[in-house]
Amino acid sequence: MGIRYIHTMVRVKDLDKSIAFYELLGLKERRRSENEKGRFTLVFLCPPEQDDGTADVELTYNWDGDEGLPSDSRHFGHLAYTVPDIYEMCQHLMDNGVTINRPPRDGNMAFVRSPDNVSIELLQQGDPKPPQEPWASMENTGHW
């Protein structure tokens, strides 16, 4: 199906300390995104030899804090993969008994969980697909 690994996301309590730690490991900041509306910062780090986005760690920092960290196990967020056709992939997963926790209502993003409860983000390769049923009106199930 053309699936491609893109990153692993971890939530962090102190962005500067976390960046310093990953830099000690030899990673470098590849890109950063500040989201005023969502009140969070995303920092993508990678090994210097892999600055093409194939081995990123995404640090997610919530501006208003995340007091449960690190004890509530929310520090590990999700694995993320791009897929050639998000609707086809979600249908394939549903046909095989996988619950779509966050349907691809926007034609771009969905979340599912592994049998071990690991959250997996699926992103449409390239531009989002036009919204279509049954996805456009499908409600969330559980959490991701």
Active-site annotation holds for 121: yes
pLDDT at 107 over 70: yes
Tokens 């959490």 sit at which residue?
143
Fold of 7-62: 2,3-Dihydroxybiphenyl 1,2-Dioxygenase; domain 1 (3.10.180)
pLDDT at 30 over 90: yes
Q: What is the distance between the alpha carbons of residues 49 and 28, in angstroms, rounded to a whole number?
A: 10
List, for residues 31-45, the tens digit of each pLDDT value. Answer: 999 999 999 999 999
Query: How confident is the model at residue 112, as a pLDDT?
Result: 92
pLDDT at 74 over 90: no
Question: Which residues neighbour 79 within 8 Å (Cβ) at sequence distance 6 or greater?
Answer: 5, 7, 8, 118, 119, 120, 121
Query: How confident is the model at residue 24, as a pLDDT?
Result: 83
Residue 78 pLDDT class (50, 70, 90 cuts): confident
Instruction: Output the six-digit token pair for 22.
Output: 């990953």
Residue type, 11: R
Q: Show me where the domains of the chain are located.
A: 7-62, 79-124
Per the residue annotation, which of 67, 88, 121, 139 is the catalytic one? 121
Residue 116 pLDDT class (50, 70, 90 cuts): low
Architecture category of domain 79-124 in CATH: 2-Layer Sandwich (3.30)
* Alpha-carbon 92 to chain mean position: 20
Instruction: Output the six-digit token pair for 38.
Output: 């969502």
Tokens 């194939």 sit at which residue?
54
Residue 120 pLDDT class (50, 70, 90 cuts): confident
Query: How confident is the model at residue 1, as a pLDDT?
Result: 66
Q: Is the pTM of this model over 0.75?
A: no
pLDDT at 19 over 80: yes
